[in-house]
Amino acid sequence: MNKIFDEILACIMIVIGALLASFSVACILLPNDAIDYGTAGVAILINKLTGFNLSVCVFLIFLPFLIAGVLILGKRFGIKATIGATVYTVGLAVFERIPFELNTEHFLAVAFGGAILGAGLSLILRHGGCIDGSEIFANIVVRKLSDKTGKNFSMTYILIGFNACVYLAAFLLINRNSALLSLLVYVVATTIIDHFTDRFEAIKQVTIITKEPDNLVSAIKKDLNKTCTIMDSQGAIAGENKTIICYVNYFELQKMREILAANKGAFSTVTTIDEILK
């Protein structure tokens, strides 16, 4: 029952986060000549250049990334991402029709809108959802690089590169002010996200203490395609244990929680890693 309640609560938080994000974009950012970042930013650029329906465009741009996310990150992620994307898309369509105006300077309005957007995205990310295809894209690239090299990579540089292309396109295709205001949105929103999600772009070290490591290691290898470090350890009460150390990114952390939930009797901690020296 507790697990079902947690999942329902997570879905409710994702819905609230998606509504906050869509309100920020439709009622604050777009009227003040700023755009969202990631794949939503790409959709907004297409909308401004072609006049194609914004909400439909956002969903169509996100759809292939959503499918890829389901295949790589699992059905549980796919359900939450679908809920978030659907509510975000519907929210854009509804809030576009609601008259709303902030009687303040563009700079202050965009900073405020970026903060609301960041708060909404934080709720979505903290509860295992996603409404931005660039994060799924970065996760796929990082996983492919890790599979080929055997090393762990952060999503940060890929996300920065993706969004740099979005803002360069805004600079060239729309105007300079729009690109600069949109960059402010990115800075404010990601600062809020990092504050509430413990830097979701960083690598996470998962430390697991268990007496039965074989099933855990097998599941981690099968479901996440990750290797582990296993060490002997000693508990003051429990006696001899095995300590498993594994490195994952933020989205893989959701899958790791599922693996741990299926293997009872393990104690685990998660630490954010600033840098791995190779």
pLDDT reading at 115 higher than 90: yes
Q: What is d(CA 47, CA 61) in angstroms, rounded to the nearest whole number? A: 11
Query: Considering only CA atoms, which of 145, 15, 23 is closest in space to residue 81?
Result: 15
**Confidence at 35, pLDDT banded by 50, 70, 90:** confident
Tokens read off for 210: 């268990």
Residue that wins the pLDDT comparison between 173 and 277:
173
Q: What is d(CA 132, CA 120) in angstroms, rounded to the nearest whole number? A: 12
The domain over range 203-273 is classified in CATH as 3.30.70.120: yes
Q: pLDDT tens-digit profile of 184-241?
A: 999 999 889 888 877 777 788 999 999 888 889 999 988 888 889 999 998 887 788 9
Amino acid occupying residue 211? K
Amino acid occupying residue 188? V
Q: pLDDT tens-digit profile of 138-172?
A: 888 887 887 777 677 778 788 889 999 999 998 99
Amino acid occupying residue 166? V
pLDDT (0 to 100) of residue 19:
95
**Confidence at 277, pLDDT banded by 50, 70, 90:** low
pLDDT reading at 244 higher than 70: yes
- Phi and psi at residue 238, to the nearest 5°: -75, -20
pLDDT (0 to 100) of residue 146:
77
Which residues, at least 6 apart from 217, have a Cβ–Cβ distance to it below 8 Å?
228, 230, 244
Residue that wins the pLDDT comparison between 246 and 74:
246
Q: pLDDT tens-digit profile of 36-82?
A: 889 999 999 999 889 899 999 999 999 999 898 888 877 888 899 99
The residues with which 240 forms a beta bridge, in sequence order, are 234
Amino acid occupying residue 69? G
pLDDT (0 to 100) of residue 278:
63
CATH code 3.30.70.120 region(s) in the chain: 203-273
pTM for the predicted model, two decimal places: 0.82
Query: Considering only CA atoms, which of 78, 104, 100 is closest in space to residue 91?
Result: 100
pLDDT reading at 243 higher than 90: yes
Tokens read off for 38: 């990631």
Residue that wins the pLDDT comparison between 98 and 87:
87
